[in-house]
Chains A and B, each alone.
Chain A
Amino acid sequence: MKQSPQLDLVEARMRPGAISLHGFLGKDTRPLSQILEEDHNTVNELGVTHRLIADRMEFFTEQGQKGLGTTVEVEGHFEVRVEEVRGVLPCPWPHKGLYGKLNVYLRNLELDKELTWTGLQVHLIGAHGFYEGRGSPFRIEPQEACRILEL
């Protein structure tokens, strides 16, 4: 995938200090186009789609929000807790929409594995296929995510 000038602008908004203090790219030195392409290939190889992964994350987010900050049991072997704070974040891509500042903590009890994501990430994955750069505090590895989410 070729990095377009539009992606250059998006990448600039992902740098530390633009939207969030630490940004979305971590220590990843690859251009955004390459990050997107490599994760897209991984998701294809797994036989799923970004939308499918995001929908599953959204499902757990909604279940967790019902707990008002407490832990909620889902499907018998998942525990999910959502922590919300005041404020909203925009997407680095240029479109309307704001995403509540929330962290989702999902534990798959059968695997004894935990996956953490933010409210904005569900959108970033579903709409843009972006899982954040390597070394970013909220980087999600698609393969690990699919395993924990049981996709």
Chain B
Amino acid sequence: MMTELLVAVAVIAALSALLALLLLTADAVLLAYGECTLTINEEEEKVVEGGNSLLAGLMDEGIFVPSACGGRGSCGLCKVKVLEGGGPLLPTEMPHLTEEEREDHWRLSCQLKIRGDMALELPEEILSLQEYKTRVKRITELNYDTRMVRLEMVEPPELKFKAGQYIQLQTPAYGLTPEPVYRAYSMASPADRRDYIELIIRRVPGGICTTYVFELLEEGDEATVNGPYGDFVLSETDREIVFIAGGSGIAPIRSILFQMEREQNPRRATFFYGCNELRDLYLVEEMREFEQKVPNFEYVPVVARHEGEWDGETGLVTEAVDRRVEDCSDTEVYLCGSPGMIDASVKLLQGKGLTEERTFYDKFA
């Protein structure tokens, strides 16, 4: 009886081992896609190793598709047109693509795996994006949970960008991530300084990138960025401007204010900055200096709750905007912050005459 039992166990173990071996072999054979050719805009060919996501494969070839979530399939930014190859749409792509986009061959490049040759159509502006090696020149604490990081360009030595644009900062593999991840941060520095960029980074509890920046990144360290991305830039009209931001959303607006100072832009501009408590405010002195240097600029910090002395605006940022902005029928509005704050502000101002074409925003903080 015991012998039969042992034989049965041995047979099952042998079968399991055989099955595992078969699976490993299948994995190695079937999932090895070999070299695949990506044809870009019918003129350029890139030979890449199959198996990677299209986003990662393009990045390896120095082509940087915008992504705010670092390729996790949640932001929906990294859409590219795949004219041939790619296979059927994946369930993880579906939610991010409209019916029109699906018919027009758009795919979510972070979800789509390179499993064969593909023909892609990429806009010229994506092809001009670059990777930059930088060095951390300075880290400045702005308040208890926000810091400004100045990155000095190393290679290439200059980064040309427009005020309001953003880059992707690479977080290398460390305790919280086994692979490099990327997060989007707006430039906060003057666009006429191409030798460095400044980023304003707010700590997110448990956040992969912000934990790295706050716990590990030090002055003198190397850092890699790519970009610049985005069209959140000042228009060339003479309309009145309303800026609205919260948290680290102050960053692109600071960069735009440097531009307005340099150009001595005469447009009337009001910047509403919303925060929870007095301790959340930062760069207040600098904003007051902009009021002196930019011809028609006013800074309006809005504090939701305060216990100490405060004679400024209180409540929600939308409440302060409501009190101070009467008519938006010839006003441009630039917003940067959480989706909830942006949605509430846009809804409010549309009731005062704001139209979609005069509304500019980046929905990330």
Contacts and interface: CB of A to CB of B under 8 A. Distances in A.
A65 interface: yes
Contact of B68 (A70, A82, A86, A100): A86
Interface string B316-349: 1110000000000000000001111100100000
A68 B95 contact: no
A109 interface: no
Nearest to A100: B339
A126 B141 CA distance: 41
Interface residues of B, number: 36
Interface in A103-148: 103, 137
Interface in A79-98: 81-90, 94, 98
B69 interface: yes
A56 interface: no
Contacts of B206: 137
Interface in A57-75: 65, 67-71
Contact of B73 (A19, A68, A100, A103): A19
B227 interface: no
A44 interface: no
A101 interface: yes
B129 interface: no
A57 to B, nearest CB: 17
B301 interface: no
Given A68-B318, A69-B246, A69-B338, A21 B305 contact: no
B304 interface: yes
A34 interface: no
Contacts of B205: 103
B350 interface: no
B75 interface: yes
B74 A101 contact: yes
Interface of B: 68-69, 72-76, 91-92, 95-96, 177, 181, 204-206, 208, 246-247, 274-276, 304-305, 316-318, 337-341, 344, 363-365
